[in-house]
Amino acid sequence: MPLNARIIKALVYRIAVILFIGALSGCGSKSGQLLTYMRPELLYLNPQPYSRLYVEVDTIEGFEVTDQLLNELKSFLNKYCSKPDGIEIVKDKPVPISEIEELSIGLASILCTDGPGTGGIEQPAYLHVLFHKKTGLEGGERTSRVSSFCPCGIFCTEGKAKAFALKHEAGHVLGLCKNTAHGDSAHCRNRGCMMYAHRDLFWSLGSLAGLQMDKLCDDCQLDLELGKSELVEPNLLFKGPFLIRQEDGYSVASLPFCDLIIPASVESVLDWNEALSFIKEKIKEAQKATLNKDRESRKKMWYVTGLYNPNDTNTSPLSEIDELAILKRAATDPSLPVKNYAMDKLKEFEQEQ
């Protein structure tokens, strides 16, 4: 089967369903764990390799997000991220409900993503924020969340569109609570800290007493300061909205609900606009195919995985031998979605022999 057909098959028919709890860090529970095999937070905290930060904000039609809320987010990011060329928050036009109705939060977030409008300017660090109604998307939760597999996106429901919740999730994006000396890899154990798991009686009494309870504790602030002095991992970079993780023999281009395995030899020439458009088109095709046949599937999380070769043309296709080599390497990837996809594809190859 030609690779182009395999890519289409992978993205149309092999959209992996991942349980919501497994795909997201649990801000309502101490059981949620943030990833430790890479540290994308350093791309936000440090002035290099990205001297500016681009925050894309999407809202679902009928969901009002105030400028004050976004200003508080910007103030928080300005305080803790070293971006000498500034932080830009761009709010896109509201997304019509008709375009995302009954979609999972994962599919909707990808379809909403435009990426940074670089316009010839150097690539910035990138963050996506999606505000949505609890009833607007299938699989939506009642709390704000950050994807644990690619913590470069914040997802906030209508009831949690508060500055406290938004800054709490931004703290996760910046890698807070990975320090187990005062956290559980998901939340801070210091009561009164903004990164504490629950707003309990202590928090309520402090608020009533007029105390500012939306601040980071000294330990969390120290973690952020120390992060600014750490070296950014050389295998991590942004291309448009994609977080690229370079591994031995392949790379992974990720959005919060999508992983594309790409040949390492073509990573440097990856056109992120093309890749994003390709993913969106295949998602729409898959959604149309299941619209009247499998309504129950849209009530669960969707996570897109696939092998993508931007140089895959009639004149320069990826050979089956090269494809197998990439999949064998990816079968030991630290990311569960990538690993499972590669292992499943290898089993398919074995069955075809």
Query: Which of 238, 239, 235, 240 minimizes the C-alpha distance to 251?
Result: 235
The angle formed by the CA atoms of residues 275, 259 and 106, to the nearest 5 degrees, is 95
Instruction: Tell me, yes or no, whether 222 and 242 share the same domain.
Output: no
Look at residue 293 in the predicted model and tell me its pLDDT: 54
Contacts of residue 230, defined as CB under 8 A and 6 or more positions apart, other chains included, come to 39, 42, 46
The DSSP result for 237-257, as a single string, is EEETTEEEEEETTEEEEEETT
Instruction: Tell me, yes or no, whether 7 and 127 share the same domain.
Output: no
Instruction: Tell me, yes or no, whether 172 and 242 share the same domain.
Output: no
Look at residue 120 in the predicted model and tell me its pLDDT: 60
Query: Which of 191, 181, 151, 163 minimizes the C-alpha distance to 36?
Result: 151
Look at residue 191 in the predicted model and tell me its pLDDT: 83
Instruction: Tell me, yes or no, whether 257 and 325 share the same domain.
Output: yes
Instruction: Tell me, yes or no, whether 163 and 33 share the same domain.
Output: yes
Instruction: Tell me, yes or no, whether 215 and 158 share the same domain.
Output: yes
Instruction: Tell me, yes or no, whether 112 and 243 share the same domain.
Output: no
Domain limit, last residue, from 186, 201, 227: 227
The radius of gyration of the chain's CA atoms, rounded to the nearest angstrom, is 20
Instruction: Tell me, yes or no, whether 88 and 202 share the same domain.
Output: yes
Residue 245: what residue type? R
Look at residue 151 in the predicted model and tell me its pLDDT: 92
List the CATH number of the domain containing 115.
3.40.390
Instruction: Tell me, yes or no, whether 172 and 256 share the same domain.
Output: no
Instruction: Tell me, yes or no, whether 221 and 280 share the same domain.
Output: no
Domain limit, last residue, from 227, 257, 286: 227
Domain ranges, residue 79: 19-227
Rounded to whole angstroms, the Cα distance separating 39 from 32 reads: 17
pLDDT tens per residue across all 353 residues of the chain: 544 445 544 444 344 333 233 334 445 433 345 677 899 999 999 999 999 999 999 998 878 888 999 999 999 999 999 999 999 999 999 988 887 776 777 788 899 999 997 666 789 999 999 988 754 444 444 567 888 889 999 988 765 557 888 999 999 999 999 898 998 888 899 988 989 876 555 555 554 554 555 789 999 999 999 999 999 999 999 999 999 999 999 999 999 989 999 998 777 788 999 999 999 988 887 767 665 555 555 544 468 899 998 776 555 678 889 999 999 999 999 999 999 999 999 999 888 87
Instruction: Tell me, yes or no, whether 115 and 36 share the same domain.
Output: yes
Q: How many domains does the chain have?
A: 2
Instruction: Tell me, yes or no, whether 9 and 33 share the same domain.
Output: no
Query: Which of 328, 332, 318, 329 minimizes the C-alpha distance to 349?
Result: 328
Domain limit, last residue, from 164, 194, 227: 227
- The size of the chain, in residues, is 353
- Strand order from edge to edge, sheet including 302-307: 15-17, 302-307, 258-263, 250-255, 242-247, 236-239
